[in-house]
């Protein structure tokens, strides 16, 4: 069982977050594993902390995997599956440029040209890689890329979780540049 401290607005540790708020030190464990195996508590609130300790002491947790709860993602098999998928789609001999060359922008839709198109879904705006935009071969494929515009005041992580999306660092080079948004 793990206990994680709540992030507090204004805490220097969390200033880089877009809203200045982080739900915990390990949101994945908090959201995907949850109670009774993960308890999030505010260490600055002694009553909440004491109540959490008392609750933990009263809780009988059903243990798996030789005495501890272990999500599939953290098992040897789960890790090997992720590593296999990542390596299988790599081309170490012919690395691609991190973003399509500017002359590829002629095939992009929109004015100014952008490789993204806007979709409206469940009161959210989502940008996806346009099917007619030139996309370099990469893994995961750019057809899986979705950029979600979080409502004001809601963190990106929370918005993505609510839409069952995950943050994929491999896509950052394609979205973190001026060309991606048409200059």
User: Are 103 and 158 in a shared domain?
Assistant: yes
C-beta atoms surrounding 145 within 10 Å: 19
User: Are 64 and 133 in a shared domain?
Assistant: no
Least confident stretch, 9-13, 44-48, 128-132: 9-13
User: Are 175 and 106 in a shared domain?
Assistant: yes
Number of structural domains (the chain) is 2
User: Are 109 and 176 in a shared domain?
Assistant: yes
CA distance 56 to 59: 5
Q: What is the pTM of this model?
A: 0.46
Residue percentage of the chain with pLDDT more than 70: 63
Q: What is the pLDDT of residues 6-28, one digit of tens each?
A: 544 444 444 444 455 566 777 77
Domain region containing 175: 98-181
User: Are 177 and 128 in a shared domain?
Assistant: yes
Are 50 and 39 a contacting pair, CB within 8 Å? no
Task: Pick 160 or 113 by higher pLDDT.
Answer: 160
- Determine, yes or no, domain membership for 87: no
User: Are 117 and 64 in a shared domain?
Assistant: no
Are 174 and 99 a contacting pair, CB within 8 Å? yes
Task: Pick 1 or 143 by higher pLDDT.
Answer: 143
Q: What is the pLDDT of residues 100-118, one digit of tens each?
A: 555 555 555 566 667 777 7
């Amino acid at each position: 069982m793990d206990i994680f401290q709540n992030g507090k607005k204004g805490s220097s540790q969390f200033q880089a977050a877009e809203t200045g708020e982080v739900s915990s030190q390990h949101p994945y464990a908090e959201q995907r594993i949850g109670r009774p195996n993960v308890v999030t508590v505010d260490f600055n609130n002694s009553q909440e902390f004491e109540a959490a300790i008392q609750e933990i002491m009263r809780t009988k947790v059903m243990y798996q995997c030789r005495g501890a709860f272990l999500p599939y993602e953290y098992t040897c098999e789960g890790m090997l599956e992720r590593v296999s998928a990542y390596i299988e789609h790599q081309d170490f001999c012919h690395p691609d440029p991190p973003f399509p060359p500017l002359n590829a922008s002629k095939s992009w839709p929109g004015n100014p040209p952008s490789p993204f198109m806007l979709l409206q879904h469940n009161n959210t705006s989502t940008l996806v890689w346009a099917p007619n935009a030139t996309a370099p071969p990469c893994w995961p494929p750019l057809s899986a890329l979705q950029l979600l515009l979080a409502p004001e005041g809601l963190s990106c992580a929370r918005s993505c979780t609510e839409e069952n999306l995950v943050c994929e660092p491999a896509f950052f080079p394609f979205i973190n540049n001026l060309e991606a948004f048409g200059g």
